[in-house]
Amino acid sequence: MKYFPVFIDAQHINCLIVGAGEVAARKLELILKTPAKITVVSPWVSDTVAQLINEHNITLHHREFMDDDLKGQNLVFIATDKNDVNQHVHDLGHSQGILVNVVDNTPLCKFITPSIVDRSPIIIAMSSGGVAPVLLRYIRQKLESVLPSKISLLGRFSERFRDKVKSALGSVTDRRYFWEDVLDGDIGENVLQGNEEKAEQQLEESLEAYKAGNKPSGQVYLVGAGPGDPDLLTFRALRLMQKADVVVYDRLVSKDILELVRRDAEKIYVGKAKSNHTIPQNEINALLAKLALEGNRVVRLKGGDPFIFGRGGEEIETLIEQGVDFQVVPGITAASGAASYAGIPLTHRDHAQSVTFTTGHLRDNSIDLNWKALAQTHHTLVFYMGLTGLSIICRELIAHGLDGSTPIALVENATRSSQKVVTGTLDTIVDMPQTQDIKPPTLIIVGSVVQLHEQLNWFTPSEV
């Protein structure tokens, strides 16, 4: 971050605005939302600034800027149309350690004003570092549309009871659980609806229950993280990732998705790579139960979907045995993500009327599958974890009836900026030079639908 975001206590801030045109008026209107002490200096004053000065307690020096005007100031906005004045005030303020902002001149800004969504006391401030103001306004509009207009009521309600809850619940974790239950449940809803008296009564009752130890027990959420692109997460997955105390994740969960996990959550890696299972599955199952029984909200974050080659069923069986509550949050499975981002429809009226997901995972140097049932025309096959056994897959499909010219695609790192797609046929794919560069995680798609890749391919990866 080039600019470090902070919120300054404006009760003790002296703010100087140099200039009094319409540009200065925008900054003046912003600062007037705070209790800061404001001084304006300018030889000319626009009608907008004059009106604001008449309506508020603002000191005006109706003259040119003087160096002594900086004495006692903490924050300075420079908004004149004279470059030499702007530069002079900037240099002088900077030499005195004063925070200086030259409006619309980012290189001369020691701080920048963010785009603000104001639901006081809830304030959301955003910045693009001055490089994309239009994009920033677009994001702000989106936030304004999804945030409840009355969320400020929740902010003030929380403020009123903050000290009481803090004194009643000594543990930071207990307080966080309590407030999440308040804000997510009936209490928060009553506040938003204006039923504060009822909400207060409910909060008092809930707080007494927490003090007595009657608080929610730990729970496990099996969350599908999708194929890799964080934009493909479900809303529910993202919300639970933000609430988790512990996140247990595997190798297929992308770094970008992990960045969305709550910052202070504990993260435990249990990934499995080819021929290298860092933690056996039965130990993962036991770990999930143990963490939940300790009172944690546990997110088991899995690439793709938990119930499609994700061993979610095995983990749930252990949770049931241990009496642990759980929920399952579906995700976009890798086959769907890979096919969509490679421009390969899994079904198509002219090519395939059915699709099969199967594992290509090797056991004892063999892949134990019903090859006769798989080797069908007008059908699409998707192999998970099949890259190591690619030669066996091609050989067996040909041996059981598919023509060697049947199209096949390898999709590495599907939906990510590093996605690679290699296409060929069952006869040629193994020996193609491009295949040698493909690494796990890779899905294999077999069938005539692969022919559509060149025509329908819409996604352009950009390695970063």
Q: What number of other Cβ atoms are within 10 A of residue 41's Cβ?
A: 20
CA-to-CA separations, 253 to 38, 300, 305, 384, in angstroms, rounded: 50, 11, 11, 16
* pLDDT greater at residue 364 or residue 88: 88
Q: If pLDDT is split at 50, 70 and 90, which confidence band does 275 have?
A: low
Mean pLDDT of 24-50: 96
Closest CA to 219 of 239, 187, 245, 242: 245
Confidence (pLDDT) at 242: 87
Over the Cα atoms of the chain, what is R_g?
30
**Amino acid (one-letter) located at 169:** L
- End-to-end C-alpha distance for the chain, whole angstroms: 18
* 211-227: pLDDT as tens digits: 887 776 788 999 999 99
| Cis bond upstream, residue 121 (ω within 30) | yes
Bridge partners, 424 (sequence order): 408
Closest CA to 442 of 390, 375, 367, 379: 390
Of 129-138, 243-252, 297-306, least confident by mean pLDDT is 129-138
DSSP-assigned letters across all residues of 60-121: EE-S---GGGGTT-SEEEE--S-HHHHHHHHHHHHHTT-EEEETT-GGG-SS-PPEEEEETT
Calculate the CA dihedral of residues 45, 48, 49, 55 and round it to 10 degrees. 130
Q: If pLDDT is split at 50, 70 and 90, which confidence band does 464 have?
A: very low
Confidence (pLDDT) at 276: 56
Confidence (pLDDT) at 146: 76
Mean pLDDT of 226-242: 91
By CB neighbour count within 10 A (0-12 exposed, 13-18 middle, 19+ buried), where does 263 fall? exposed
Cα–Cα dist 37/200, whole Å: 36
Retrieve residue 319's tokens.
Answer: 């949770």
- To the nearest whole percent, how much of the chain has pLDDT over 70? 97
**Residue for token digits 């009481």?**
164
Cα–Cα dist 243/180, whole Å: 8
Q: Average model confidence (pLDDT) for the chain? A: 91
Bridge partners, 59 (sequence order): 39
Cα–Cα dist 232/416, whole Å: 11
Confidence (pLDDT) at 351: 95
For residue 327, the surrounding DSSP H or E stretch is strand 325-329
What's the predicted TM-score (pTM) here?
Answer: 0.69
DSSP-assigned letters across all residues of 421-443: EEEEETTTGGG-GGGGG--SSEE
CATH tag, 219-332 = 3.40.1010.10
Q: If pLDDT is split at 50, 70 and 90, which confidence band does 130 have?
A: confident
Of 34-48, 81-95, 277-291, 432-446, least confident by mean pLDDT is 277-291
Calculate the CA dihedral of residues 254, 256, 261, 264 and round it to 10 degrees. 110
Domain topology for 335-456 = 3.30.950
Q: Are 303 and 441 in contact (CB under 8 A)?
A: yes
Q: If pLDDT is split at 50, 70 and 90, which confidence band does 285 have?
A: very high
**With left for phi above 0 and alpha for psi between -120 and 50, is residue 213 left, alpha or beta?**
left
Confidence (pLDDT) at 86: 94
Q: Domain-by-domain residue ranges, the chain? A: 10-113, 151-211, 219-332, 335-456
Strands 272-273 and 276-277, bridge-based pairing: antiparallel
Confidence (pLDDT) at 278: 66
In CATH, what is the architecture of 10-113? 3-Layer(aba) Sandwich (3.40)
Q: If pLDDT is split at 50, 70 and 90, which confidence band does 181 have?
A: confident
Q: If pLDDT is split at 50, 70 and 90, which confidence band does 200 have?
A: very high
Q: If pLDDT is split at 50, 70 and 90, which confidence band does 154 have?
A: very high
The three-point CA angle 180-184-187 to 5° equals 100
**With left for phi above 0 and alpha for psi between -120 and 50, is residue 21 left, alpha or beta?**
beta
- Catalytic residue numbers read 250, 272
Closest CA to 244 of 176, 310, 153: 176
The three-point CA angle 167-173-175 to 5° equals 35
- To the nearest whole percent, how much of the chain has pLDDT over 90? 72
| Cis bond upstream, residue 441 (ω within 30) | yes
Mean pLDDT of 116-143: 88
Confidence (pLDDT) at 133: 84
Strands 442-446 and 380-384, bridge-based pairing: antiparallel
**With left for phi above 0 and alpha for psi between -120 and 50, is residue 130 left, alpha or beta?**
left
Reduce the DSSP state of residue 353 to 3 states and report it.
coil
Q: How many residues does the chain have?
A: 464
CA atoms within 13 A on the CB side of 286: 5
For residue 197, the surrounding DSSP H or E stretch is helix 196-211
Confidence (pLDDT) at 456: 96
Retrieve residue 4's tokens.
Answer: 């470090």
**Residue for token digits 């701080």?**
111
Which of 78-92, 213-227, 352-366 reaches the highest mean pLDDT? 78-92
Confidence (pLDDT) at 433: 96
Cα–Cα dist 81/464, whole Å: 41
Reduce the DSSP state of residue 225 to 3 states and report it.
coil
Is the pLDDT reported for residue 36 higher than 50? yes
Residues in contact with 150: Cβ distance below 8 Å, sequence separation at least 6, in sequence order: 192, 194
CATH tag, 151-211 = 1.10.8
Is the pLDDT reported for residue 277 higher than 60? no
